[in-house]
Chains A and B, each alone.
Chain A
Amino acid sequence: MSAPDNVAAEEISTMTQGANRPGQTQRFRSGLSRFRTWAANEKPAAVAIGFLVLLSAAAIMAPIVAPYDPLQQDLGSILEGPSFSHPFGTDELGRDMLSRVIFGGRISLATAAIAVAIAGSVGGLAGLTAGYIERAFGALIMRFMDFLLAVPGILLAITIAAVLGNGFWPATIAVTVISIPAFARLARASVLSTKQEEFVQSTKSAGAGHSYLMFRTIFPNALSPLIVQASVAAATAILLEAALSFLGLGTQPPSPSWGTAMALGKSYLKQSIWYALMPGLVLTATVLSIDTIGRAMQRTWGGNALNSAAGRGG
């Protein structure tokens, strides 16, 4: 029986192209050196990974890294431009914008992580099941996903946030729900094509049961498009969370979310352009980094996640 290895092994073996299947530690080492070669070919992606690592580290260690308390007011220095003591300037209450942006990163990154983890597993599992059981049950799941996709993303997110109320969790739930259908569709399509592969057919004729076929044979081999989709979904989640907060439907002040900061900063454009600009620049750099990594992964592993990025405008 030509039982397939797990996804990681498959990726590495496609990357090493024809190399003998290495042992566990060797596999790891060859993975690392492969990554180095990959990063050398995909320089923008390597820069993007560096930026995201830095941003995540700063967000996680925010209380240590941030130069000030993000809520600490200093009415003596309001709406200042960048300076040595306040690299990102200050807001209308004299709070340090760099510290607020660092703490705001926690909100954006947490939303993205939660949305991708939950939407990826729920949507992925729904799509995998719908692809395996094609009959009524699968069709029903996909009709529901079609419905979610039939409503413009931002509108659906805002409606959900409106029903659930304002705050971090309602916004995160809204973003998660609208991320589900893309995962489901991709997973289903991937399962449908994997099912036709010879190794699946031979595993089946060797007498494998449903659960073995589903979870050991098909699923691991149908996962790689979902990894690329995860990057698109993460970037979209960050954008949507910021949009919801910008509209006043997400995390509420004084919590330093990027979207909220920009909405407040917009009223002070005449006094200080930096207030609205700095969170916007960091937000853009974050989304751009995730997209860059996603496209590099797409070039390496194939898959098409373009469509879901098209739903971002609004």
Chain B
Amino acid sequence: MRRYLGFRMLQMIPIVVFASIGVFLMIHLVPGDPVLTVTGLEASAEQMERVRQEMGFDQPLVVQYFNWVGQVFSGDLGNSLVSQKPVSELIADRMPATIQLTIATMAIGLGLGIPFGLVSASRKGSWIDKSLAGYSSLSLAVPTFVVGIVFILVFGVTLEWLPTASAYIPFWDDPGGALKATIGPAATLGFFVSGVIARFVRASMVEVLDLDYIRTARAKGVGEAKLVYKHAFRAASLPTLTIVGIQFGTFLGGSLVTESVFNYPGIGRLILSAILNRDFVVVQGSVLVVVIIFTLVNLVTDVLYSFLNPRIRAGSSG
């Protein structure tokens, strides 16, 4: 177990190194001079030269990279070219909003997806199974911005139950307000996630329900409900864990499209507005943080998977 853990952590390193080189080079690959973003277009040559030196853009690329990595390790992701605020502060400001949205999204996704998958698998081939399969297909095919717009149209514009633009209200401060402000983007993303999860749960349940031990249990007279929800689901939940982990990691990195449909102030909006403003220091820092979060969540998922899977657990402890 410990060896596996060590191995998986080592695997993370090249990904993070690749990503850091990628985001570092980005600022130099972008057409146009990043110095101009700071100084504005009317800057004199001397002004530009001074800023260039201040920002270290005059040094060789390799030196710049290692300087930057050194800074990142000490927690300094640089300052925004636009607002001059530290990037780490900007990210820390947006993170709670994204975390709250992710939790709400996963709650909706799991709350709908797992029962849907279980029901489909236990009634394989029935009309319920077929309509739930249609639901999954639809949720994977409708772009989140279409769902979001329809949501705003129905609940914001027509019924006027919810605001057309959401804000971040911390759940502990005002649970009701938080719910109202988060439900739009969370339902939009949750619809998508529930389809993915339903399909996975169904696929692995169908596989498990075909296994010998289930047949034995059924022959022994174990009730169908207990069979499905206890015996089979325990075995089928493992593969589902991986996909839940991937979704969780993705949304923790901010949902660019959904956050911008609802004007929800999370990490995704931060990255998007930085891109549109050509504020590449912010893009650099936040993309790096998002990649690290995503890889970490995947790592935790993998470790959890191997911990919960008796086959791997037994194999590696011996």
Q: Is B260 a contact partner of A155 (Cβ separation < 8 A)? A: no
Contact present for A162 and B283 (CB under 8 Å): yes
The CA of A312 and the CA of B290, in the complex, are separated in Å by 17
Which chain A residues lie closer than 8 Å to B271 at the CB level?
Answer: 155, 158
Q: Please determine whether B138 and A288 come into contact, CB atoms closer than 8 angstroms.
A: yes
Q: What are the residues of chain B within 8 A of A248 when measuring CB–CB?
A: 276
From known contacts A151-B294, A314-B250, infer whether A247 and B256 are also in contact, taking CB-CB under 8 Å. yes
Contact, CB under 8 Å: B149 / A276? yes
A273 to B157 Cα, complex, angstroms: 10
Q: Which of A159, A283, A288, A313 lies at the interface centre, i.e. has the most chain B CB atoms within 10 A of its CB?
A: A313
B235 to chain A minimum Cβ distance, whole angstroms, is: 19
With contact pairs A147-B18, A284-B143 given, residues A163 and B137 touching in the complex (Cβ less than 8 Å): no
Q: Which A residues are in CB contact (< 8 Å) with B150? A: 277, 280
A291 at the interface (CB under 8 A from B): yes
Q: When the two chains form their complex, are residues A266 and B258 in contact, meaning their CB atoms are under 8 A apart?
A: no
B108 close to chain A: CB less than 8 A: no
Interfacial chain A residues near B203, Cβ < 8 Å: 306
Which B residues are CB-close (under 8 A) to A281?
A: 146
| A50 contacts partner chain B, Cβ-Cβ < 8 Å | no
Complex contact A313–B144 (CB within 8 A): yes
Binary interface encoding of chain B residues 297-310 relative to chain A, with 1 for a CB under 8 A from any of its CBs, else 0: 01000000000000
Interface pair B30/A162, CB less than 8 Å apart: yes
Task: Say which residue of B192, B243, B250 sits within 8 Å of A152 (CB atoms).
Answer: B250
Q: Is the CB of A262 within 8 A of B290?
A: no
Contacts of A144 in B (CB 8 A): 18
In whole angstroms, how far apart are the Cα atoms of A273 and B152 in the complex? 11
In this complex, what residue of B is CB-closest to A288? B141
Q: Of A154, A265, A283, which is within 8 A of B257 by CB?
A: A154
| Closest CB in chain B relative to A158 CB, distance in Å | 6
User: In the complex the two chains form, what is the Cα distance from A235 to B172 in whole Å?
Assistant: 40
A287 at interface, CB cutoff 8 A = yes
- In Å, the complex CA distance between A259 and B290 comes to 25
Contact with B along A236-280 (1 / 0, CB 8 A): 000100110011110000000001001001100110010011001
Residues in B neighbouring A165, C-beta threshold 8 A: 31
Chain B: interface secondary structure? Answer: helix
Question: Nearest Cβ in chain B — how far from A267, in angstroms?
Answer: 11
In the docked arrangement, what's the CA distance between A248 and B260, Å? 11
Scoring A residues 145 to 170 as 1 if CB is less than 8 Å from chain B, else 0, what string do you get?
01100111011001100110100000
A150 to B295, CA, bound (A): 7
Minimum CB–CB distance from B40 to chain A (whole Å) comes to 20
B14 interface neighbour in A143, A243, A262, A311, Cβ under 8 Å: A143
Contact A313 B192 (CB under 8 A): yes
Contact B146 A155 (CB under 8 A): no
Q: In the complex the two chains form, is B250's CB within 8 Å of A262's CB?
A: no
> Closest A-chain residue to B203, C-beta based?
A306
Distance A242 CA – B147 CA, assembled complex (angstroms) = 14
Contact of B142 among A146, A284, A295 (CB under 8 A): A284
Contact A280 B149 (CB under 8 A): yes
In contact, A280 and B257 (Cβ under 8 angstroms): no
B246 within 8 A of A: yes
Quick check: is B29 within 8 A (CB to CB) of the other chain? Answer: yes
A309 at interface, CB cutoff 8 A: yes
B residues within 8 A CB of A239? Answer: 143
Q: A247-B257, A266-B261, A276-B149 are in contact. Are A287 and B141 (CB under 8 A)?
A: yes
Specify which chain A residues have a CB less than 8 angstroms from the CB of B145 in the assembled complex: 242-243, 246, 259, 262, 280
A242 nearest CB neighbor, chain B only: B143
Contacts of A280 in B (CB 8 A): 143, 145-146, 149-150
B183 CB–A CB distance under 8 Å: no
- Does B182 have its Cβ within 8 Å of any Cβ on chain A? no
B61 at interface by CB-CB < 8 Å:
no
Contact yes or no, B138 A163, CB < 8 A: no
- Residue-wise, chain A 271-311 has the 8 Å CB interface mask toward B (1 for contact) of 00100110011011001100110010000000000100111
Give CA–CA (A262, B31) in the complex, Å.
Answer: 28
Whether B257 contacts A146 by the Cβ 8 Å rule is no
Find A291's partner among B29, B141, B258 (CB 8 Å cutoff): B141
Q: Is the pair A152, B290 in contact by a Cβ cutoff of 8 Å?
A: yes
Q: Are B192 and A163 in contact (CB under 8 A)?
A: no
Kindly report which residue of chain A lies nearest to residue B252, judged by CB atoms. Answer: A152
Q: Quote the shortest CB–CB distance from B153 to chain A (angstroms).
A: 6
Chain B residues, CB < 8 A from A314: 144, 250-251, 255-258, 268
A246–B257 touching, CB < 8 Å: yes
* B201–chain A nearest beta-carbon distance, Å: 12
Query: In whole angstroms, what is the CA distance A96 to B310 when docked?
Result: 61
Does A155 contact B253, Cβ atoms closer than 8 Å?
yes
**Cβ contacts under 8 Å, A265 to chain B:** 149
Measured CA separation A291–B146 after assembly (Å):
17
Cα(A276)–Cα(B11), bound, Å? 44
Residues of B at the A interface (CB closer than 8 Å) are 14-15, 18-19, 23, 26, 29-31, 137-138, 140-146, 149-150, 152-153, 157, 164, 189, 192-193, 196, 199-200, 203, 243, 246-247, 249-251, 253, 255-258, 260-261, 268, 271-272, 275-276, 283, 287, 290-291, 294-295, 298
The list of the 10 closest CB pairs from A to B, nearest first, reads A280-B146, A288-B141, A313-B192, A287-B141, A162-B275, A147-B18, A150-B15, A152-B250, A284-B142, A314-B255
**Given A295-B137, A313-B251: 19 more A-B contacts, CB < 8 Å:** A150-B15, A150-B295, A151-B19, A152-B249, A155-B256, A242-B143, A243-B145, A243-B256, A247-B260, A266-B261, A269-B149, A277-B149, A280-B145, A284-B143, A287-B142, A291-B140, A310-B247, A312-B140, A314-B256
